Amino acid sequence: MSTYDEHLVIVGNGMAGHRLLETVLAHPHRPRHITILGDEPATAYNRILLSPWLAGDMDREALTLRHNDWYAAQGVSLIAGERVTAIDRQCRTLTTDQGRRLAYDRLVLATGSRAARPAVPGSDLDGIHAFRDLEDGERLASLADAGGRAVVIGGGLLGLEAAEGMRKRGMTVSVVHRAMHLMNRQLDPTAADMLATELRARGLEIHTGADLAAYAPDADGQRATGVVLSDGTTLAADCVVAAIGIVPNTTLAERAGLATARGIQVDAFMTTSDPNISALGECCEFEGTTYGLVEPIWRQAEVLAARLCGETPAPYRERPCATKLKVSGISLYAFGPIAPTSAHEVLTYHDPQHGDYRRLLLRDGVIDGAVLYGDTGDGPWYFQCALAGDDLSACRQALLFGASDARPLLEEVA
Ligand SMILES: Cc1cc2nc3c(=O)[nH]c(=O)nc-3n(C[C@H](O)[C@H](O)[C@H](O)COP(=O)(O)OP(=O)(O)OC[C@H]3O[C@@H](n4cnc5c(N)ncnc54)[C@H](O)[C@@H]3O)c2cc1C
């Protein structure tokens, strides 16, 4: 059977599943029969924009990627609000929680991940929330609109975006972060201090180097009324949000006997241990790496879409990702390693008065990592130079001032 006649079934109508669908549909040799299933009731939406939406910076409608009628117009069957519970690989069928049975020729798992929950006493109490999907966002928005106190556990990207969103809606918010500085996976201590100073000035309470010991229960032992830190500090809260990380959704794949480790294991063409089943996005694991940002997922979708349309694409390869924080009025941009090694030359520019900071890590004249806070306009240029492996030794003295100062020096030696 040609790929044109095969029934392609995609499980998960999130960012990866939807991107794959759009990419396949743009292909001249797309499979004729396509079904996409998702357990969320909404049609595909932009999960990234949950943060600005929670912060009140945009309308719910702006999140929608496609409406129902689009799927029909593309000849795609959309099954929303149904969860796939089992895959029979022998018969090539899957079953949903509503008893539906569906046959496939090619199956793609794009089941994403879920919020990790801190394993401390009280973690099964009510009143502990995640920030992962529309339902979470709606719940947090309505809690925040009622005012009161919130504690957000986790001072990474997601925790800070949730905390700022809830603060902007009127809550008094504390952030509890285990590491000694905020966003410790992306920022060095100087940039993180600048960020913490700005967030504190806006009214957030920030506790770094703070270890969560337990959730505090109410008198009935039903609801969390706050958190207890390992130094004995208790922070009271009407609502607790756990944003400490994500766990890939692998249960469906595991039950079907596919190879999994942290995620569903795939090769460089996104094929799982079953040649008829692929996986991409946050549910998959490639060469020991799992995912939490969309940039690599977009590249996975390109590779997989080409394969599903009968082509032989270039294999997927890992490459660095740049990070931004979606908090209005705060600009930061970072990529690469945080801690310099003895092989790195460190270039730093710091203008505390204007709130500007840049730190570049160079290895043999090539940018290996960057942290920018304040004026981040040159971030993408540094990132492109790093990806291209450009030797910037000739413009080293102007490098911290960005592309407009550094490029002419490079052109002189070219
Ligand atoms: C608030 C927030 C802000 C973010 N901001 C950024 C950002 O600024 N930049 C960035 O790069 N990334 C950001 N991310 C991460 C980004 O959203 C994810 O990397 C991306 O959504 C992963 O896509 P995915 O399809 O793998 O998973 P998801 O988007 O989670 O989609 C998986 C879908 O599969 C469904 N599903 C799971 N199991 C089943 C099943 N058995 N049956 C049917 N359906 C199932 C899930 O309900 C979900 O709808 C953010 C994430 C959040 C939560």
The CA distance from 31 to 74, in Å, is 12
| Domain 7-114+247-308 identical in fold to domain 128-242 | yes
Quick one: which atom of ligand 1 is closest to the CA of 12? 34
* Ligand 1 contact via 17 beta carbon (within 6 Å): yes
* Ligand 1 contact via 15 beta carbon (within 6 Å): yes
Q: How far is the CA of 13 from the centre of ligand 1 (A)?
A: 9
pLDDT of the residue at 231: 95
pLDDT of the residue at 247: 98
Token pair, residue 200, equals: 């504190």
Question: Could you tell me the sign of the dihedral formed by the alpha carbons of 328, 329, 333, 334, in that order?
Answer: negative
Which helix (H) or strand (E) segment holds residue 24: the answer is helix 15-25
* Ligand 1 contact via 402 beta carbon (within 6 Å): no
- For 5, residues 6+ apart whose C-beta sits below 8 A from its C-beta are 31, 32, 33
Q: How far is the CA of 14 from the centre of ligand 1 (A)?
A: 5
* Ligand 1 contact via 165 beta carbon (within 6 Å): no
The CA distance from 182 to 159, in Å, is 10
Q: How far is the CA of 15 from the centre of ligand 1 (A)?
A: 6
The CA distance from 148 to 236, in Å, is 10
Quick one: which atom of ligand 1 is closest to the CA of 294? 11
Among 300, 306, 303, CA closest to 29: 306
Question: Which residue reads 């910037």 in tokens?
Answer: 392
* Ligand 1 contact via 50 beta carbon (within 6 Å): yes
Tens-binned pLDDT, residue by residue, of the chain (414 aa): 677 788 999 999 999 999 999 999 999 999 999 999 999 999 999 999 999 999 999 999 999 999 999 999 999 999 999 999 999 999 999 999 999 999 999 999 999 999 999 999 999 999 999 999 999 999 999 999 999 999 999 999 999 999 999 999 999 999 999 999 999 999 999 999 999 999 999 999 999 999 999 999 999 999 999 999 999 999 999 999 999 999 999 999 999 999 999 999 999 999 999 999 999 999 999 999 999 999 999 999 999 999 999 999 999 999 999 999 999 999 999 999 999 999 999 999 999 999 999 999 999 999 999 999 999 999 999 999 999 999 999 999 999 999 999 888 888 877
Helices (H), 241-293: 251-255
Token pair, residue 222, equals: 């039903």
Quick one: which atom of ligand 1 is closest to the CA of 291? 19
Question: Which residue reads 């029969």 in tokens?
Answer: 33
The CA distance from 328 to 340, in Å, is 29
* Ligand 1 contact via 109 beta carbon (within 6 Å): no
Q: Are 154 and 131 in contact (CB under 8 A)?
A: no
Give the closest residue (by CA) to ligand 1 atom 39.
111
* Ligand 1 contact via 293 beta carbon (within 6 Å): yes
Q: Domain 128-242, what fold?
A: FAD/NAD(P)-binding domain (3.50.50)
Among 58, 16, 97, 31, CA closest to 270: 16
Q: Domain 331-413, what fold?
A: Enolase-like; domain 1 (3.30.390)
The CA distance from 373 to 396, in Å, is 20
Token pair, residue 292, equals: 């939490």
The CA distance from 365 to 391, in Å, is 5
Domain formed by 7-114+247-308, architecture: 3-Layer(bba) Sandwich (3.50)
How many helices, marked H, and strands, marked E, lie in the chain?
10, 25
Give residue limits of the domains in the chain: 7-114+247-308, 128-242, 331-413
Give the closest residue (by CA) to ligand 1 atom 53.
132
Q: How far is the CA of 296 from the centre of ligand 1 (A)?
A: 13
Give the closest residue (by CA) to ligand 1 atom 7.
48
Quick one: which atom of ligand 1 is closest to the CA of 293? 11
C-alpha Rg value of the chain to the nearest Å: 23
CA-based max dimension of the chain: 74
Give the closest residue (by CA) to ligand 1 atom 3.
48
Neighbours of 412 (CB within 10 A): 9
